Structures are given as structure tokens and as C-alpha cells.
A and B are shown apart, each in its own frame.
Chain A
Amino acid sequence: GQQVMQIPQYQHVQEGEDFTTYCNSSTTLSNIQWYKQRPGGHPVFLIQLVKSGEVKKQKRLTFQFGEAKKNSSLHITATQTTDVGTYFCAAYAYSGGGADGLTFGKGTHLIIQP
């Protein structure tokens, strides 16, 4: 089945520094989603990207979808302690048998040092 690979697995930053996580697929994606999971919590949807080359912003967060629709990135400017958590990319698969489920990357754990 389709897999999305995510790097890095862990990222330590000083508060105020920027953070970026990357998601890559060997196959063309119809769209890609990003989720955030706070420690001890459940994943919460952030955004979905659909178009080739799409860029979306949410305050300090910038999401990009590659031109070939095989990669995506999430960039956080000037991290704050509230950004702590694990960021996941996710994609729906579609195989010859029909629509498959929503599969997730392994996530990037963002650790912020004050």
C-alpha cells in the first residue's frame, strides 16, 4: 500500500527558532493532510492540500505541496512552547480495488527548549 515517509523523527529547537518537517511519497498523492498531536492527546486536523504547488498559511504555520504532488512540508516560524507535539502528514490511498484508508507518516516530534 501507499506509504508516506516523514523526516526528521525528532527535532529539538530553542524557543523562537524555526521548525520544518518533511513528508515524501514514492507515488503521486491526490492530496495530503497534516495533523498535530499534543502529548497525551489525540491527533487534530490542521489542513489539507490538494493542488500541485499549493501553499497555505495558518498564522506562523506554512504548508506546501510539491509540484509533483509527491512531497509536502510544514514550516513553523518562531516556535512557541504551545507548538510542542507530534506533527503527522497523512494521505488517502486509492488502489485498484477502490478507495483505501487514511495512512499516516511516523510523525515528527517537536521538542522546544525555553
Chain B
Amino acid sequence: NAGVTQTPKFRVLKTGQSMTLLCAQDMNHEYMYWYRQDPGMGLRLIHYSVGEGTTAKGEVPDGYNVSRLKKQNFLLGLESAAPSQTSVYFCASSPGWSTEAFFGQGTRLTVV
């Protein structure tokens, strides 16, 4: 069972470069989320989606864009990476509102 798969697992970017993180889930979940995790800050919600073709801002959306063109995929884009975006990024999905969330293994991103 694949569950939630994140690609890539590690990445090093130079300041100003762009990249896209891919999240794929095979559970037919409606909701998908992107979080970043920094020491002492817990998990902070960047963007989320409540269904195919929809996206919404979370707590810390600045500097990120997302797209949900297909139900199973949720893409997180960094247009111009900054050192402050160095973090571990987690994708998650859930069947709907107020249901259990399933997390991917995380992507460790370093911006130098």
C-alpha cells in the first residue's frame, strides 16, 4: 500500500531557484495538505485543498503556490526559493473534514 508518496525526499536549492514538490495519494481522498515543520514550531499549514481543482491558503502561504489538477496529486511550488524556506515539508491527505489524516514521509529541503 503506497498511501501518500512525496517526491523528492531530499533537495538542495540555491537562493532564487524554483522547484516543485509532488504529493500523490492512492486512497481517493478529497482533502490534501502541505505543511512545513521547523524546530520548535510544530507543523504549520501552508496550503490545502478540499477537492480536485480547489486550493486554499493556510497559516503560512507566502512564497508558495499549489495546484490540484488531479484528485490524487497536490503540487507545492516555490517560485524563488529563500533560505527561510529551508524546512521539512510534509504532505497529508484525508477522506474529508474531521477525519484521520495520512502523512507522507516528508521532503527535506535546504536552500543555500
Do they bind each other? Answer: yes
Query: Contact between B42 and A100 (Cβ–Cβ < 8 Å)?
Result: no
Whether A45 lies near B40 (C-beta < 8 A) is no
Contact with A along B29-59 (1 / 0, CB 8 A): 0010101000011111100101000001011
- Chain A contact residues: over half helix, strand or loop, or mixed? strand
Interface size range of chain B in the complex = 20 to 34
| A31 contacts chain B at the CB level, 8 A cutoff | yes
A106 touches B (CB below 8 Å): yes
Inter-chain CA distance A84–B102, complex, in Å, is 20
Within 8 A of A (CB), among B70-112: 90, 92, 94, 97-106
Interface check A107, CB cutoff 8 A: yes
* Contact B103–A88 (Cβ < 8 Å): no
In the complex the two chains form, is B33's CB within 8 Å of A101's CB? yes
Known: A42-B104, A45-B102, A102-B92. A88 touches B56 (CB 8 A): no
Which A residues have a C-beta under 8 Å from some C-beta of B?
1, 6, 9, 30-31, 33, 35, 42-45, 48, 50, 88, 90, 92, 94, 98-107
Considering the complex of A and B, which 6 residue pairs feature the smallest CB-CB distances, nearest first?
A106-B42, A101-B48, A104-B43, A42-B103, A45-B100, A99-B97
